[in-house]
C-alpha cells in the first residue's frame, strides 16, 4: 500500500505552501469584476480543504468549531447568534468586506492576534481570491450569478456522504481506536485517537486534538495538534479506498511526517 509515500507527499505540499505563504499577506485589490470572474471550482476546493472542517456556509447551517458563515459579508465580525467568539475578534472592529476578509485569511493569527481560528497557515494566492468569491456566492454575499457547471465537475459521484460511499471504511474509523506510535530523536510517544462522526478527533491524551475531512480526491485528511513531542502537530492524508477492507493491528501503516520523525499507525477494536 502506498500510504507513506502519499502521506509524505501531501505533507510536503502543505508545509511547502505554509512556507510560501510567508508572503501571502501581500495585498490584492478585490473588485467585483475580479471576484465575479474567479474560478469557482478552485475556490470550492480551497474551501473544502482549508475551511470546511470548521465552517458551514448554507443558510441555517450549524456552527462547528467555527461559526456558520451565511450572511457574514458586509456584517461586523462576531455577530452570528449562538456562537461564542473570542474577545480578540469582537474587539477587532472589523466589517467583512472582500478586502478585509482577504487580509484576515492571508494571515489570521497576525491580523487579529489572539483570535481563536486555529488554522495552520494563511491562504496563499491565487487561491484566496477564488476562495473569497466562492464564499460570497455560497453565503448570499455576491450580487453576480453562480457559474453553471456541468454536474460531473461539481459532483463527480459525490452526492452521497462518505458514510454511504465508503461504509466499511467509515464504520471502521468511526467506531474503533486508532493507535499511533511516534518515534523521534527525543523519544517515543504512544497515544490513541478517536475519529468522531462530527469531524473532530479526540484522544486518550488530553492535550491531543484534531479534525478530519475527506477531500475531493477521496483522500481522508486529518490534522492532529497538541502532541507533547516535537513536532507538536501532524497532517496526513490517505486514500479511503486503501482502508476499505477493515483490518485490526497495532501497526498497519507507517509514515514520515517530518524530518527525523517516524509515525506508525494501527487500528484496535472498539473504543472506551
Q: Total residues at the site for ligand HEC (CB under 6 A)?
A: 27
Contacts with ligand HEC in 32-51 (CB under 6 A)?
50-51
201 binds ligand HEC (CB under 6 A): no
Binding flag, residue 263, ligand HEC (CB under 6 A): no
- C-alpha 122/C-alpha 106 separation (Å) is 5
Residue 123 makes CB contacts below 8 A (sequence gap 6+) with 21, 24, 46, 50, 105, 106, 131
Rounded to 10 degrees, what is the CA torsion of 119, 56, 6, 251?
A: 90
Considering only 10, 54, 243, 263, the residue that binds ligand HEC (CB under 6 A) is 54
- Interface with ligand HEC by CB under 6 A: which range of 114-122, 154-162, 178-186, 225-233? 114-122
Alpha-carbon dihedral 241, 40, 58, 172, rounded to 10 degrees? 10
Part of the chain binding ligand HEC (CB under 6 A), chosen from 112-120, 153-161, 246-254, 256-264: 112-120
- Cis peptide preceding 126, ω within 30 of 0: yes
- Output the CA torsion sign for 81, 142, 218, 127: negative
| The three three-digit cell numbers of residue 68, written as one number | 456558520
Q: Pick one of 118, 174, 229, 261: the residue that binds ligand HEC (CB under 6 A).
A: 118
* By the rule CB under 6 A, 119 interacts with ligand HEC: yes
Binding mask 132-161 toward ligand HEC (x if CB under 6 A, else -) reads ---x--------------------------
Q: Which run of H or of E encompasses 257?
A: strand 249-258
Q: Footprint of ligand HEC on this chain (CB under 6 A)?
A: 50-51, 53-55, 65-67, 69, 72, 77-80, 85-86, 88-89, 101, 105, 115-119, 123, 135
Amino acid at each position: 500500500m502506498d500510504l507513506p509515500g502519499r502521506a509524505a507527499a501531501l505533507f510536503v505540499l502543505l508545509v511547502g505552501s505554509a512556507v510560501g505563504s510567508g508572503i501571502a499577506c501581500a495585498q490584492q485589490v478585490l473588485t467585483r469584476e475580479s471576484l465575479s470572474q474567479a474560478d469557482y471550482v478552485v475556490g470550492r476546493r480551497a474551501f473544502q480543504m482549508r475551511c470546511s472542517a470548521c465552517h458551514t456556509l448554507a443558510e441555517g447551517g450549524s456552527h462547528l468549531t467555527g461559526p456558520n458563515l451565511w450572511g457574514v459579508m458586509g456584517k461586523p465580525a462576531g455577530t452570528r447568534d449562538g456562537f461564542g467568539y473570542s474577545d480578540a475578534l469582537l474587539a477587532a472592529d472589523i466589517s467583512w468586506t472582500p478586502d478585509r476578509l482577504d487580509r484576515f485569511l492571508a494571515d489570521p493569527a497576525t491580523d487579529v492576534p489572539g483570535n481563536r481560528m486555529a488554522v495552520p497557515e494563511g491562504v496563499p494566492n491565487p487561491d484566496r481570491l477564488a476562495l473569497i468569491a466562492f464564499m460570497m456566492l455560497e453565503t448570499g454575499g455576491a450580487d453576480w450569478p453562480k457559474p453553471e457547471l456541468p454536474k460531473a465537475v461539481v459532483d463527480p459521484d459525490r452526492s452521497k456522504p462518505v458514510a454511504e460511499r465508503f461504509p466499511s471504511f467509515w464504520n471502521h474509523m468511526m467506531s474503533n481506536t486508532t493507535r499511533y506510535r511516534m518515534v523521534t530523536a527525543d523519544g517515543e510517544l504512544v497515544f490513541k485517537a478517536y475519529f468522531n462522526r462530527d469531524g473532530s478527533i479526540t484522544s486518550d491524551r488530553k492535550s491531543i486534538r484534531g479534525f478530519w475531512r475527506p477531500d475531493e480526491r477521496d483522500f481522508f485528511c486529518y490534522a492532529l495538534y497538541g502532541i507533547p513531542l516535537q513536532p507538536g502537530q501532524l497532517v496526513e492524508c490517505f486514500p479511503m479506498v486503501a482502508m476499505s477492507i477493515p483490518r485490526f493491528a497495532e501497526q498497519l501503516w507507517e509514515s514520515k511526517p517530518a524530518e527525523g520523525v517516524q509515525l506508525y499507525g494501527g487500528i484496535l477494536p472498539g473504543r472506551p
